């Protein structure tokens, strides 16, 4: 889950050749020439059959079709492990869905396969997107990716373990993290600070630390800056002050994000960086936790990481007007707020964000939501990003481990990134 959660697919298998159907009838009537069936492939944000995203889409489609009886919408829901691959398979087979809600859009935009937001959406719908998310959906300054689910990152801490270690306040700086982690270790906590640099979502943990140290993957004009002075300083600090002293409870390269979340929910982790869905997991296990803004070098970090998943419309079957009508409905305030509330995510529109901030039942999401306008996102507009992300997953865990050299690893990744970026221009 960009917001990446990997669960067993709840969708039917073997739909690789499904096509969008345009229904026509010479006799007119209910099967008249204007009747269209749209195909949507979507990701599953649930963790069991009872809360599968299929139920959300069933409700949205029923309500939409009641208002637009000539437009039918057929939704296939796949796990995050399978959904991107399923869309890729259909596109390569020449049977692209009309819409896809997946993790990346840039490759399809670069190949000219997508409608732009201007092609599809009303002005009021476009204007309602949170600006930073709309910007993150641009390829060559044209928006093709429509943000769907979003999250930001904060530092989670276990209040019970902190109290047992004699820690009165959560950390605000890196020095605080080091000191608190040592106190937790002294109190018998096996994993004072969980550092998931295993292959599941290394690129996220890496970006969180880059931002907290004043760096990032790219600069303000989109040039890769992976081996910048700030990033090198950050990971040397992580290696020397957290990993080498044994404050991460083991080799970060072997810890995946979900395993870290599970351990926190089991009350075995003192601190870790997390997104809103961890709140639901911790609450279900009865863990008394708190969250704070990401600690930085001398105080809270100036920005945090934001993650968004993307909706997009494919041109292949030419149903621009019908896709636009459906997506205008999908991005209605009530629909966005329901989806976000159901799955512990952040609304991607201003109207739904204001609605969430106005309701006390979403109070624990408010601190995450207030960070969203200023959050920084993966450079998803770069077609080189998938390769860079894959390289980060393979190498960053080793950079901070025994014998690792953060400077060399970051430089190697930078070289790979620049070569890939040049090749895709």
Residue 280's pLDDT is: 87
Whether the CB-CB separation of 52 and 77 falls below 8 Å is answered with yes
State residue 137's pLDDT score. 95
Kindly report, residue by residue over 67-85, the tens digit of the pLDDT.
999 999 999 999 988 999 9
The half-sphere exposure of 358 on its side-chain side, counting CA atoms within 13 A, is 7
C-alpha dihedral sign at 132, 115, 352, 336? negative
Residue 246, Ramachandran bin (φ over 0: left; ψ between -120 and 50: alpha; else beta): left
CA distances from 130 to 136, 324, 361 (A): 10, 19, 22
What element of type H or E holds 282?
Answer: helix 277-284
Angstrom distance (rounded) from CA 88 to CA 19: 14
* Position 335 confidence tier, pLDDT thresholds 50, 70, 90: very high
The model's pTM is 0.85
DSSP 32-68: -TT-EEEEEEEE---SSGGG-HHHHHHHHHHHHHHH-
For residue 25, what pLDDT band results from cuts at 50, 70 and 90? very low
Residue 425 contacts residue 224 (beta carbons within 8 Å): no
Residues ≥6 apart with Cβ < 8 Å to 16: 86, 89, 90, 93, 95
Helix, strand, coil content of the chain in percent (nearest 5): 45, 15, 35
- Pick from 42-46, 50-54, 155-159, 385-389 the range whose average pLDDT is largest: 155-159
Tens of pLDDT along 126-146? 999 999 999 999 999 999 999
Separation between Cα atoms, residue 45 and residue 38, nearest integer Å: 21
What was the pLDDT predicted at 425? 63
Phi and psi dihedrals of 122, rounded to 5?
-70, 160
Instruction: Measure CA 322 to chain center.
Output: 27
In this prediction, residues 320-324 reach a mean pLDDT of 97
Query: What are the DSSP calls for 170-239, one per residue?
Result: ---BHHHHHHHHHHHHHTT-SEEE----STTSHHHHHHHHHHHTT--SB-TTS-B-TT-HHHHHHHHHHI
Q: How far apart are the first and last CA of the chain?
A: 28
Distance CA 20, CA 44 (A): 21
Q: What is the C-alpha radius of gyration for the chain, rounded to an integer number of angstroms?
A: 22
Rounded to an integer, what is the distance from CA 228 to the centroid of its chain?
A: 24
Exposed/middle/buried for 423, CB within 10 Å: 0-12, 13-18, 19+?
A: exposed
> Beta strands 154-158 and 191-193: pairing type?
unpaired
């Amino acid at each position: 889950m960009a917001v990446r959660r990997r669960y067993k697919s709840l969708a039917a298998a073997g739909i690789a050749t499904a096509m969008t159907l345009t229904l026509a009838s010479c006799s007119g009537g209910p099967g008249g020439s204007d009747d269209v069936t749209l195909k949507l492939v979507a990701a599953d944000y649930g963790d069991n059959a009872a809360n599968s995203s299929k139920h959300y889409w069933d409700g949205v489609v029923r309500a939409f079709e009641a208002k637009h009886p000539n437009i039918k919408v057929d939704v296939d829901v796949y796990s995050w492990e399978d959904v991107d691959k399923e869309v890729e398979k259909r596109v390569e087979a020449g049977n692209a869905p009309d819409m896809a809600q997946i993790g990346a859009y840039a490759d399809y935009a670069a190949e000219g396969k997508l409608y732009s937001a201007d092609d599809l959406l009303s002005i009021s719908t476009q204007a309602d997107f949170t600006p930073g998310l709309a910007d993150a959906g641009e390829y060559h300054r044209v928006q093709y990716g429509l943000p769907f689910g979003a999250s930001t990152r904060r530092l989670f801490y276990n209040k019970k373990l902190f109290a047992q270690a004699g820690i009165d306040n959560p950390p605000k700086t890196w020095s605080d993290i080091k000191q608190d982690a040592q106190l937790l270790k002294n109190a018998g906590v096996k994993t004072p600070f969980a550092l998931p640099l295993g292959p599941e979502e290394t690129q996220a943990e890496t970006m969180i630390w880059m931002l907290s140290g004043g760096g990032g993957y790219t600069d303000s004009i989109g040039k890769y800056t992976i081996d910048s002075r700030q990033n090198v300083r950050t990971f040397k600090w992580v290696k020397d002050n957290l990993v080498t002293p044994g404050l991460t409870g083991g080799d970060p390269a072997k810890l995946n994000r979900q395993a870290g979340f599970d351990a926190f929910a089991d009350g075995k982790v003192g601190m870790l960086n997390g997104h809103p869905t961890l709140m639901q997991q911790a609450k279900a296990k009865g863990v008394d936790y708190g969250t704070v803004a990401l600690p930085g070098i001398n105080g809270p970090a100036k920005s945090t990481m934001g993650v968004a998943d993307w909706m997009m419309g494919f041109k292949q079957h030419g149903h621009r007007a019908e896709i636009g009508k459906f997506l205008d409905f999908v991005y209605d305030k009530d629909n966005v707020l329901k989806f976000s509330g159901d799955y512990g995510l952040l609304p991607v529109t201003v109207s739904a964000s204001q609605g969430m901030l106005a309701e006390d039942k979403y109070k624990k999401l408010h601190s995450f939501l207030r960070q969203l306008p200023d959050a920084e996102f993966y450079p998803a507009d770069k077609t080189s990003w998938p390769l860079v992300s894959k390289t980060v997953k393979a190498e960053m865990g080793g950079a901070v481990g025994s014998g690792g050299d953060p400077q060399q690893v970051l430089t190697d990744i930078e070289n790979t990134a620049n070569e890939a970026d040049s090749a895709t221009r």
